Amino acid sequence: MAKKKREIERELEKVEKVEEKILKRLDEEEKKEEEIEGVEKKLWKRVEETTELHESKVKVFGFADFAQCVVGATLFGIPAMWTPDFWNFIDGLWSTPPVPIPTYKVLVVHLFILFCVIVTLNYAFRKNFKFDYKFLKALSKRVFYIYMAVMVTMILLLWGFHRLTPDITTLTMIRYILSTHSIGMAGAVTFDFILD
């Protein structure tokens, strides 16, 4: 009987040692999992912070930004209004009488300046040009606000300088708006960077 008790005790000790080893391994694995979860949480927190930082910088388009757009567009856009068609002076250098540049070329210049504005604003808020949906969504919203602020300003200035009159054609009106708006967009963004 005593031998059986000893054997049973030995077996119990072996089982307890195995249980201790298993518990130690489980504790180690739980600690590793907790460390991994902690690292994951830190990484997600950093990603969210940087995303929020970019979005918060881009999203806010307050009255100060609007005023900068209007002042910059006005300062840079007024010289475009001294001539009836701002882009005519280019062809006017080589032809007599000046032949107007085709409207589609004015549109191409306008789109190019808009692209330059988007790239400039992108690099104003971050240092790369990678695709980030949330950032680009917020950036496009800001570009839209700037675009519309400049558009309204330019139409009011054209009307104030008597460039938009009832007797002009629609094509001429589009040319005036595109040409002055292009210069106004460049002015609005440039003025924004001068003040920052």
**pLDDT tens, 173-190?**
888 888 888 888 888 888
135, 51 in Cβ contact below 8 A? Answer: yes
pLDDT at 191: 76
pLDDT at 77: 76
pLDDT at 144: 92
pLDDT at 98: 59
Better-predicted residue by pLDDT, 144 or 53: 144
pLDDT at 112: 92
Is residue 51 pLDDT above 70, yes or no?
Answer: no
Task: Provide the pLDDT confidence category of residue 68 given band limits of 50, 70 and 90.
Answer: confident
Domain ranges, ordered by start, for the chain = 1-59, 62-195
Better-predicted residue by pLDDT, 92 or 8: 8
* 19-28, 93-102, 156-165: least confidently modelled range: 93-102
- Mutual orientation of helices 2-59 and 103-125 as an angle, nearest 10°? 140
pLDDT at 138: 81
What letter does residue 167 receive in the DSSP assignment?
Answer: T
- Cα–chain center distance at 52: 12
97: phi then psi, degrees, rounded to nearest 5 = -70, 165
**What percentage of the chain reaches a pLDDT higher than 70?**
81
Distances (CA, A) of 174 to 85, 145, 158, 159: 11, 20, 11, 13
Tokens representing residue 54 in the block? 């970019």
Is residue 55 pLDDT above 80, yes or no?
Answer: no
pLDDT tens digits for 113-154?
A: 899 888 888 777 777 777 777 778 888 888 899 899 999 998
Average pLDDT, rounded, for the chain: 78
